[in-house]
């Protein structure tokens, strides 16, 4: 009987595991459905339908387990009441009870296997819908929802561990005129093609999202302002040189950019505000250019054009170019000037050598 009761315990554990998983997934989908009021009606309907089916599945498992427990309890009571009667062998009655328990056990195992398969299918469908809810259907990039979540995570890491990052905003220049002149199919093509340009200009760890009609945002983790400036210029130059050809028409496309690095007291709102200010300055300056917000004011992103054989990834360039050397010398000049103001004139020769 030891093996038998071990089997019964195992079945109960399996039932409990399935029940917990089903309830967890059902509650997760229900919370998602209730909190995402901005989601379109079709998406909400699909998720609500899946949540309802999961709840029905969990209810069925609960009912099956309850019935199983009741039948096992009844059989156990019958076995406990068996008493040896003179001239009567109780073994046949015991064997019948055990056979009934085994049959009940097998029925529950079959139902649990079916429920497990259905639960796996439902979970995969939910994961697919959740992924779709975080993806821009036109470009395949993460959407505003995914960007907001990533921003919240990066801000939390900055506030907790001072893990720096930069934020880059990209706006397609004169996109309304493009739609009006070439048509919306051409505009959709440009957006999809631009998304590919942005992808290949970035590292795998960078997150580029479409957050509006013609607006994109890029989170650059573990990136200082010098590297972020090079990324911004690379995107601008590669977009301008990309042959956007829709049907038989080549469409000139440029972008304006705003850039900022996370600062001491930044949250998501303040960082976005500074990046927006830099982007507006780029538009006011004539577009097809980039501005950065240094924490106090906006200034243009000024870099020498990248050579034609420059690597795509921003962290792949090991050899310094002219822009790198110029930036280093500018920094040295500022530092040496500050030292000189404190009476250490002897170091000014190093400034002259730069």
Which runs of consecutive H residues, i.e. helices, occur in 285-321?
Answer: none
Higher-confidence residue of 341 and 254: namely: 254
What pLDDT, on the 0 to 100 scale, is given for residue 351? 43
pLDDT in tens, 152-171: 999 999 999 999 999 999 99
Mean of the per-residue pLDDT values of the chain: 74
CA distance 166 to 230: 12
What pLDDT, on the 0 to 100 scale, is given for residue 47? 60
- HEC per residue, the chain: CHHHHHHHHHHHHHHHHHHHHHHHHHHHHHHHHHHCCCCCHHHHHHHHHHHHHHHHHHHHHHHHHHHHHHHHHHHHHHHHCCCCECCECCHHHHHHHHHHHHHHHHHHHHHHHHHHHHHHHHHHHHHHHHHHHCECCCCCCECHHHHHHHHHHHHHHHHHHCCCEEEEEEEECCHHHHHHHHCHHHHHHHHHHHHHHHHHCCCCCCEEEECCCCEEEEEEECCCHHHHHHHHHHHHHHHHHCCCEECCEECCCCEEEEEEECCCCCCHHHHHHHHHHHHHHHHHCCCCCEEEECCCCEEECCCCCCCCCCCCCCCCCCCCCHHHHHHHHHHHHHHHHHHHHCCCHHHHHHHHHC
**Triad 250, 253, 256: Cα angle to 5°:** 175
pLDDT in tens, 184-206: 999 999 999 999 999 999 999 99
Pick the catalytic residue: 43, 86, 214, 238?
214
**Triad 107, 112, 118: Cα angle to 5°:** 130
CA distance 118 to 53: 10
What pLDDT, on the 0 to 100 scale, is given for residue 29? 47
C-alpha count within 13 angstroms, C-beta hemisphere, residue 306? 22
Higher-confidence residue of 54 and 178: namely: 178
Q: Specify the residue for token string 């096992």.
A: 72
pTM of the predicted protein model: 0.57
What pLDDT, on the 0 to 100 scale, is given for residue 107? 73
Q: What's the mean pLDDT in 222-246? A: 95
Higher-confidence residue of 14 and 229: namely: 229
Higher-confidence residue of 331 and 260: namely: 260
Determine whether 214 is an active site residue: yes
- Is pLDDT of 150 > 70? yes
Confidence band of 1 (pLDDT split at 50, 70, 90):
very low
What pLDDT, on the 0 to 100 scale, is given for residue 264? 87
CA distance 306 to 106: 70
Higher-confidence residue of 100 and 136: namely: 136
What pLDDT, on the 0 to 100 scale, is given for residue 6? 45
- Is pLDDT of 313 > 50? no
What pLDDT, on the 0 to 100 scale, is given for residue 183? 94
Q: What percent of the chain has pLDDT over 90?
A: 45
pLDDT in tens, 287-311: 999 999 999 999 999 764 544 554 4
Q: Hey, which residues does 215 pair with through a beta bridge?
A: 171
- Lowest mean pLDDT: which of 52-56, 83-87, 293-297? 83-87
pLDDT in tens, 325-340: 554 455 555 555 554 5
Evaluate whether 175 touches 213 at the Cβ level (below 8 Å): yes
Q: Hey, which residues does 257 pair with through a beta bridge?
A: 170, 290
- Is pLDDT of 18 > 70? no
């Amino acid at each position: 009987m030891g093996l038998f009761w071990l089997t019964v315990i195992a079945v109960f554990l399996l039932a409990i595991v399935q029940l917990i998983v089903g309830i967890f997934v059902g509650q997760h989908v229900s919370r998602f459905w209730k909190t995402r009021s901005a989601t379109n009606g079709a998406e909400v309907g699909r998720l609500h339908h899946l949540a309802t089916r999961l709840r029905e599945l969990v209810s069925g498992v609960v009912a099956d387990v309850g019935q199983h427990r009741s039948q096992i309890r009844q059989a156990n009571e019958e076995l406990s009441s068996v008493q040896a009667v003179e001239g009567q062998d109780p073994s046949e009655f015991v064997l019948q009870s055990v056979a009934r328990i085994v049959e009940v056990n097998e029925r529950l195992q079959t139902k649990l296997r079916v429920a497990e398969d259905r639960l796996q299918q439902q979970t995969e469908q939910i994961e697919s819908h959740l992924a779709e809810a975080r993806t821009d259907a036109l470009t395949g990039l993460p959407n505003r929802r995914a960007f907001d979540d990533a921003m919240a995570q990066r801000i939390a890491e900055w506030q907790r561990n001072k893990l720096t990052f930069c934020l880059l905003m990209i706006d397609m220049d004169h996109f309304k005129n493009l739609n009006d002149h070439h048509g919306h199919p051409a505009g959709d093509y440009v957006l999809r093609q631009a998304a590919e340009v942005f992808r290949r200009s970035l590292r795998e760890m960078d997150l580029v999202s479409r957050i509006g009609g013609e607006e994109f945002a890029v989170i650059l983790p573990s990136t200082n302002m010098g590297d972020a400036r090079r990324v911004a210029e690379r995107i601008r130059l590669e977009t301008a040189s990309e042959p956007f050809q829709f049907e038989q028409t080549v469409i000139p496309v440029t972008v304006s950019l705003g850039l900022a690095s996370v600062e001491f007291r930044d949250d998501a709102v303040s960082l976005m505000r500074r990046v927006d200010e830099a982007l507006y300055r780029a538009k006011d300056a004539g577009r097809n250019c980039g501005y950065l917000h240094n924490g106090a004011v906006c200034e243009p992103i000024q870099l020498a054009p990248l050579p034609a054989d420059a690597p795509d990834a921003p962290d792949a360039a090991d050899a310094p170019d002219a822009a790198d050397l110029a930036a280093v010398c500018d920094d040295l000049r500022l530092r040496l000037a500050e030292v000189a103001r404190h009476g250490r004139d002897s170091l000014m020769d190093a400034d002259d050598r730069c």
